[in-house]
A and B are shown apart, each in its own frame.
Chain A
Amino acid sequence: MTTTAATLPDDPARLRTTTPAVRLRQVGKRYTADGPDVLREVDLTIEPGELVCVVGASGSGKSTLLALLAGLEQPTSGSVEVACGAALMFQEPALFPWLSARGNVELAMRLSGVGRHERHERAEELLRLVHLGGWGDSAVHELSGGMRQRVALARALAQERDVLLMDEPFAALDAATRDLLHDELERVWLSTGRTVVLITHDVGEAVRLGRRVLLMAGRPGRVVGEWRIEGPRSEAAAVGLTAVITDRLREEHHRAV
């Protein structure tokens, strides 16, 4: 495991195309004309198939960054390019309680005009992918928190977007379930080849999942650190890197307050 800032990912298969999945150029964001810079001069390029984790304290602009990528907000300055659009997963599963698990997954496809028969098949497939085969007919309230978040993942994947954005998707889960879902996400990421941008306040989680970790700091919101994690990961190296990033996060936090 190396932690250099300049090297490229070592898997050339992931870099077949030269068009980045996400490109931000000098992006600035204010919510009101005379308000503070929530983001200032953010430059970011994410290659197709990357798994990038963004960490930062509250108020560092990471949720705003995600909202820009999802198209929920428009930048005040600079440009945001997301190839083929992005799917977004929230901290809460936010499933619709009047639909079954499968119905929730199917709705994503229905809203993008997929036919009934194909929807059904594909939803079953996606539920199997997140290890919920056979749970399709269950009502949302019959599922545990972890299962609901897996349905939400299946729903996000059903959108058939190249980029999957995740806003602290595991924050509300217990530690054991979170661990399990980390494995699930990694497996799904490897098998679907999606580009994943995951926001978290948990540095350990970022190091566990990310092939690249970005650290954001607030006032104004910007990217202040970047670590690439390549090759096989050892437990010790992960602990070491987590400590390094956590220290840096604290430093930025003290600078901000």
Chain B
Amino acid sequence: MPSDATTLAPGRASTAPLVVRPAGRDARPVRHGAAVLLGPVALLAAWQLVVWLAPGAAVVSPSDVARAAAGAWARGDLPSALTTSLGRGVVGFALAVVIGTPLAIAVAHVRWFRTAFGPLLKGLVVLPSVAWVPAAVLWFGLTDATVYFVVLMGSVPSVVNGLVAGMAQVPPLYRRVGTVLGAGPLAMTRHVVLPAALPAYVAGLRQGWAFSWRSLMGAELIAGGGRLGVGLGALLQEGRALGDLATVLVAMLLILTVGVLAELFAFAPLEGRLARRRGLDPRAAR
């Protein structure tokens, strides 16, 4: 990053007021914000271009979608679908963390448990979680239990595998230091192994969240009605049934937006803070 703020041209030093800004500090967030918006704006432009170039085809313009979104928002459909899905996503993910974390510790530390369940948990990542939907509907009916079951089957393996991978990569020297400092098995896990595995754990959490959200959408899309509230996935399905492409696109964009916002405001800052604290921030490297 060029630190032009502190550079003074040779001849101008006497005439220009000397303004020394901390290198790039105040310029960076603005530039960063503009760069983040560049992708969506480009996408929007391309979309509009397609609408202009292929009139009459099965496409709706961005403004149609905006109108549909405003209408659905005003009717209350959108806020209620969003809160229903977000609530399920967050609760499901939290459950996955609560279940996955002790599972991972058990896989890493208990030999027979690792032998018995390690390959299974690794393999489960490959199984698309929507494949669980039919079975879950037969077991639990059209209830929230079905949704949470599918979400957990999708996200628990990711959380487990992230933490297990992290714990496997803890440098042996750290454990020796722990032993020398008098740490028992419990203190070793609490004060040495878990903190050392934290970056990989966060990577696992990020993937776990993504799988939660994807599984949730899949479950909502396939299983609807009964005692299930209407979430974003159901909204998507409803739009398809009514041949309402604008509503379909509104739902899709909202699903995507939630994913992007979670990344921007939760996982990226968390990962950045961890990396900076440990001196692993690539931007800090010179």
A92, A108, A140, A142: the one contacting B181 at CB < 8 Å is A108
Chain B interface, >50% SS class: helix
- Give per-residue flags for A87-108: 1 if the beta carbon is below 8 A from chain B beta carbons, else 0: 1101010101111000000011
CA distance A99 to B198 in the complex (A): 13
Nearest A residue to B276 by beta-carbon distance?
A: A139
Q: Could you say which interface size class chain B belongs to?
A: 10 to 19
How distant is the Cα of A99 from the Cα of B178 in the complex, in angstroms? Answer: 14
Interface centre among B182, B183, B196 (most CB of A within 10 A): B182
Residues of B near A139 (CB, < 8 A) are 277-279
Measured CB to CB, the residues of A under 8 A from B are 70, 72, 87-88, 90, 92, 94, 96-99, 107-108, 110-112, 139-142, 155, 159
Q: Out of B177, B179, B183, B278, which one reaches A97, CB within 8 Å?
A: B278
User: Please, which residue of chain A has its CB at the minimum distance from the CB of B173?
Assistant: A94
How far is A140 from B177 in the complex, measured between Cα atoms in Å?
16
Is A92's CB under 8 angstroms from B277's CB?
no
**A90, A96, A155: the one within 8 Å of B196 (CB):** A96
B188: nearest chain-A partner, CB-CB: A111
> A88 — which chain B residues lie within 8 A by C-beta?
180
Partner of A159 from the list B176, B178, B181, B192 (CB cut-off 8 Å) is B181
CA distance A97 to B198 in the complex (A): 11
Looking at the complex, which one of B177, B178, B192, B195 makes contact with A90 (CB distance below 8 Å)? B177
Q: Are B191 and A110 in contact (CB under 8 A)?
A: yes
Interchain nearest-CB distance for A102 vs B (Å): 14
Q: Are A94 and B198 in contact (CB under 8 A)?
A: no
Contact of A159 with B279 in the complex, beta carbons under 8 Å: no
Q: How far is B277's CA from A142's CA once the two chains are assembled, in angstroms?
A: 10
A112 touches B182 (CB 8 A): yes
Which listed residue (A72, A107, A159) contacts B179, Cβ 8 A? A72
Which of A97, A98, A155: most chain B CB closer than 10 A?
A98
Residues of A within 8 A of B181 (CB): 107-108, 111-112, 155, 159
B277 near A98 (CB under 8 angstroms)?
Answer: yes
B191 and A111 contacting across the interface, CB-CB below 8 Å: yes
| Contact residues of B between 198 and 226, Cβ < 8 Å to A | 198
Contact A70 B196 (CB under 8 A): no
Q: Which B residues from 115 to 143 make CB contacts under 8 A with A?
A: none
CB–CB B183/A111 < 8 A: yes
Q: Which residues of B contact A72 (CB under 8 A)?
A: 176, 179-180
Other A-B contacts than A107-B191, A141-B279, 6 sampled, CB-CB below 8 A, are: A70-B180, A72-B176, A87-B180, A88-B180, A94-B174, A108-B181
Contact B198 A98 (CB under 8 A): yes
Tell me if B187 is interfacial: C-beta within 8 Å of chain A: yes
**Contact present for A96 and B180 (CB under 8 Å):** no
Residues of chain A within 8 A of B178, CB atoms compared:
111
A160 smallest CB distance to B (angstroms): 11
List chain B residues, Cβ under 8 A from A155: 181
Which residues on the B side are within 8 Å of A108 (C-beta)? 181
Known: A72-B179, A96-B196. A140 touches B173 (CB 8 A): no
Q: How far is the CA of A112 from the CA of B187 in the complex (A)?
A: 10
Chain A residues with CB below 8 A from B179, complex form: 72
Q: How far, in whole Å, are A108 and B192 apart by their CA atoms in the complex?
A: 12
Chain B residues within an 8 Å CB radius of A98 = 195-196, 198, 277-278
Q: Is the CB of B173 within 8 A of A92?
A: yes
Q: Contact at B279–A96, with CB atoms within 8 Å?
A: no
CA distance A140 to B277 in the complex (A): 9
Question: What are the interface flags for B166-194 relative to A under an 8 Å C-beta threshold, 1 for contact and 0 otherwise?
Answer: 00000001101111111100010001100
List the B side residues contacting A159 at CB < 8 Å: 181-182
B171 → chain A, closest Cβ, in Å?
8
> In the assembled complex, which residues on chain A have CB atoms less than 8 Å from the CB atom of B191?
107, 110-111
The CA of A79 and the CA of B181, in the complex, are separated in Å by 23
